[in-house]
Amino acid sequence: MSSEIYEVVIIGGGPAGLTSGMYSARAGLNSTLIEKGIFGGQITYAEHVENFSGFPEGISGQELGEKMREQAMKHGLKIITGEVTGLEIQGMLKNVKTTEGDFTSKTVIMAGGAVRRKLGVEGESKLTGRGVSYCAVCDSAFFRDLKVAVVGGGDTAITEALHLAKFASKITIIHRRDQLRAGHVLREKLKSEPKIDFIWDSTVTAIEGAVMVEKIKLQNIKTGMTYEMPVDGVFISVGTIPDTEYVKGILPLDESGYIITNEKMETSIPGILAAGDIRHNSARQAITAAGDGATAAVYAQKYLTESTV
């Protein structure tokens, strides 16, 4: 356990966390960032990011995450690899509990983002890594010339399906409604992809296979009809859930578990701020997460200047 008292501890190494880390370190604050996995957060799932300002040709999500990490560290941000397990408030100080020990800080920026939601059907857990995947960029090469299903109708599902079209022989998007949630640009791209077709108004009720995925069970939610479809892979893209389990009862959360902040990214606990996808009403874009991160760092600094902590 470190006896050092930090000025800023940032939880999460996606665009929000890395940008707040870059701002805090650049402002000369004793800042450290804790990340459990890969830097870049959800954008690392994106093969090609076209809508992050400053990159007119686009950039791979992994490269963008890496550049953000490099830039933050160049300005003096310390980075710890570990998992946050708890947050305690001790008067004006905050104690961030992690697998690498406790970190005491005057301010905390919660930027842990959100993780992919599970479908919650029979066979999903057993066959994860055996045909069930949550990341086309990571796993699509295993499905060359095979048939796959993509579950979901949002931007992520369509982005995953378009990426899979470079590898798989056929991609079937299964959506629980008869209209996609995904935006116009992605819907237009689908039109020029003959390998992709749709099953509308349907949910996957089970994923089956002895060792690897062999088939899925489906139900049409309008007619009630149930049927089976043989597939080699299932990519699940049904949204995200925030990484806030460990702050339940400590920080104000909305009904879905996202942290409630004001426009300065402040929570109702002085010195604790939140930025990016973890925040209620976030626009859930890499660029808005980065903007949240900068805002949070600016107001964390203001808090440190104005408070007596």
Residue among 13, 41, 153, 291 that touches ligand NAP (CB under 6 A):
153
Of the pair 13, 61, the CB lying nearest ligand NAP is at 61
Of the pair 106, 284, the CB lying nearest ligand NAP is at 284
How many CB atoms sit inside 10 A of residue 32's CB?
A: 21
**Strand, coil or helix: what is 256?**
coil
| b (16+ CB within 10 A) / e for 221-243 | eeeeeeeeeebbbbbbbbebebb
User: What is the nearest approach in angstroms of ligand NAP to the Cβ of residue 13?
Assistant: 18
Compute the distance between CA of residue 230 and CA of residue 219 in angstroms, rounded to an integer: 14
| b (16+ CB within 10 A) / e for 142-172 | ebeebbbbbbbbbbbbbbbbbbbbebbebbb
Q: Give 143's DSSP letter.
A: G
Of the pair 279, 284, the CB lying nearest ligand NAP is at 284
- Segment contacting ligand NAP (CB under 6 A): 31-39, 53-61, 84-92, 151-159? 151-159
- Kindly write out the interface string for residues 196-225 of this chain, putting x where it contacts ligand NAP by CB under 6 A and - elsewhere: -------x----------------------
267 near 89, Cβ under 8 Å? no
Question: Which residues have a Cβ under 8 Å from the Cβ of 9 and sit 6 or more positions away?
Answer: 31, 32, 33, 34, 94, 96, 103, 105, 107, 108, 109
Q: Does 256 bind ligand NAP (CB under 6 A)?
A: no
- Segment contacting ligand NAP (CB under 6 A): 21-29, 217-225, 237-245, 301-309? 237-245
User: What is the nearest approach in angstroms of ligand NAP to the Cβ of residue 209?
Assistant: 20
Compute the distance between CA of residue 154 and CA of residue 133 in angstroms, rounded to an integer: 16
Number of residues that bind ligand NAP (CB under 6 A): 19
- Segment contacting ligand NAP (CB under 6 A): 53-61, 70-78, 149-157, 258-266? 149-157
135 is an active site residue: yes
Between helices 286-306 and 15-26, what is the axis angle to 10°? 40
Catalytic residue, from 139, 155, 232, 243: name it. Answer: 139
Q: Does 284 bind ligand NAP (CB under 6 A)?
A: yes
138 is an active site residue: yes
User: What is the nearest approach in angstroms of ligand NAP to the Cβ of residue 44?
Assistant: 12
**Under rule CB under 6 A, which residues in 176-195 are in contact with ligand NAP?**
176-177, 181
Q: Does 152 bind ligand NAP (CB under 6 A)?
A: yes
Evaluated on CA atoms 78, 249, 288, 43, the torsion sign reads: positive
Residues noted as catalytic: 135, 138-139
The residues binding ligand NAP (CB under 6 A) are 51, 119, 151-157, 159, 176-177, 181, 203, 237-240, 284
